[in-house]
Structure 1
């Protein structure tokens, strides 16, 4: 799947489950503003498994530095769609985020928030086309503004961040299971799980059906989770 598809699917899953899953897991429901920022963060987190690809969205985040990192991850993990496309990786990203926000505090929380928002901006094409300085500065600027907003208004974001990161990574894996080659969910067991609905990445079925449908569904979910409650309070 394209990076855009992964990001939209992450946003959709978070927005659709925010009124239900957090209540079941944590005993409380996130406020409308938390749902909105969580949706963007989950969109960014849904790109994390592609850290093993030298030309995926994460590789373009910091130019040569991020491309080098992605090449290193691919080498260590056995190539694209291996270790980082497993349930082990999804669990580790969630646990690692929890450990970071617990032991390193606000600096880690805001740094992770910035990276996830920057990934979401790039994957959702909220910046000028291309990978030049203008696109990069726009991505950094929007991510910086979003991070500043989180720091000022969402002091409890650390409690939700591990859940959001893990959910985004898991959504990516399930999305890749809908394509050829599937995903080795039980890595290091090599079997790949697939239910092929998307036969070609970037094909018409993905770009003209799945992406528009998921986009509309995301806005519908946000309406019920964010805007309807706000209107009811006013």
Structure 2
């Protein structure tokens, strides 16, 4: 999947998991001669405050780009130059190349543990109280990744991602969600969304890296299943075709609309509590 699509999907997953909005179409369209349904949007499996839903969506959007840190020319490599470029060059070597270590169960676990460890670092500052310093610092990177991928900052202004990342990262450090464990949860969901998204393209992923689980010979002879489990140990359900395909764009239209709608509803709740 493309970088912006990964970011949008990550934010959508976070909002779907942490929020639940009741939609009553009958109340919206009262007076119509036909009955319209009422339903819930979102699962609310990890309920957080409205502010936590909004800030977590930004973090998850950035975390959904983390697996591509194994590619020196990925979107995030150009997000916070020169730091992001150096990070991607280092990660590319550690992960064994693109769609290897960072696109696996091991990579998912490593990113989550790193986020958990960062979330433990807190500082007590005069006038501000307890500040989530670790989550705030990592959020600078993650939010800058998301801002770059979603084209929220102009490419010609190299310093803009730093400004956006520092401002929003500082906001998260001071006004972090009260719910314990929200930061590693956001990183986990973002990275997992990325891996699943790439598994829906023809390239697929090797979830068991560094091990290679080869498909049986008879399996590779089957016309359709041969692309689902390859000899190189890659697994894919290529319903989206190649990265950036029309099918991928068609999927991201409703995903993006849901993300914008859920963020709008969340912002309304935040303002209503003021």
Q: TM-score interval w.r.t. the shorter chain?
A: 0.7 to 0.9
- Could you tell me which runs of 5 or more consecutive residues in structure 2 were left unpaired when the two chains were aligned: 20-43, 124-131, 213-232
Query: Counterparts of 1:70 and 1:227 in 2: how far apart (Å)?
Result: 34
Aligned ranges for residues 1-234 of structure 1 at < 5 Å? 1-19=1-19, 20-22=44-46, 29-103=47-121, 106-128=132-154, 130=155, 132=156, 134=157, 136-154=158-176, 156=178, 159-190=181-212, 191-207=233-249, 209-223=250-264, 226-227=266-267, 229=269
Moved more, 67-76 or 161-170: 67-76
Answer yes or no: is the 8 Å Cα contact 2:75–2:149 preserved in 1.
Answer: yes
- Deviation string 1:95-125 (CA, Å, 9 cap, x unpaired) is 1211222256633221111111111111111
Query: Counterparts of 2:180 and 2:72 in 1: how far apart (Å)?
Result: 30
Kindly indicate which of the two structures has a greater share of residues assigned to helix: 1
Cα distance change on mapping 1:228 and 1:87 into 2, 3 Å:
same
- Deviation string 1:211-230 (CA, Å, 9 cap, x unpaired) is 22210121233355x25645
Answer yes or no: is the 8 Å Cα contact 1:181–1:194 preserved in 2.
Answer: yes
Moved more, 64-73 or 187-196: 64-73
- Deviation string 1:57-102 (CA, Å, 9 cap, x unpaired) is 2211233443233123222222100011001111111112112222
Answer yes or no: is the 8 Å Cα contact 1:32–1:227 preserved in 2.
Answer: yes
Q: TM-score, with normalisation over the residues of structure 2?
A: 0.74
Aligned residues, how many? 222
Structure index of larger Rg:
2
Alpha-carbon RMSD: 2.3
Q: TM-score, with normalisation over the residues of structure 1?
A: 0.85
Moved more, 137-146 or 11-20: 137-146
Residue 26 of structure 1 is matched in structure 2 by none
Query: Counterparts of 1:97 and 1:230 in 2: how far apart (Å)?
Result: 26
- Could you tell me which runs of 5 or more consecutive residues in structure 1 were left unpaired when the two chains were aligned: 23-28
Cα distance change on mapping 1:76 and 1:145 into 2, 3 Å:
closer
Cα distance change on mapping 1:92 and 1:11 into 2, 3 Å:
same
Query: Counterparts of 1:65 and 1:229 in 2: how far apart (Å)?
Result: 36
Query: Counterparts of 1:155 and 1:181 in 2: how far apart (Å)?
Result: 37
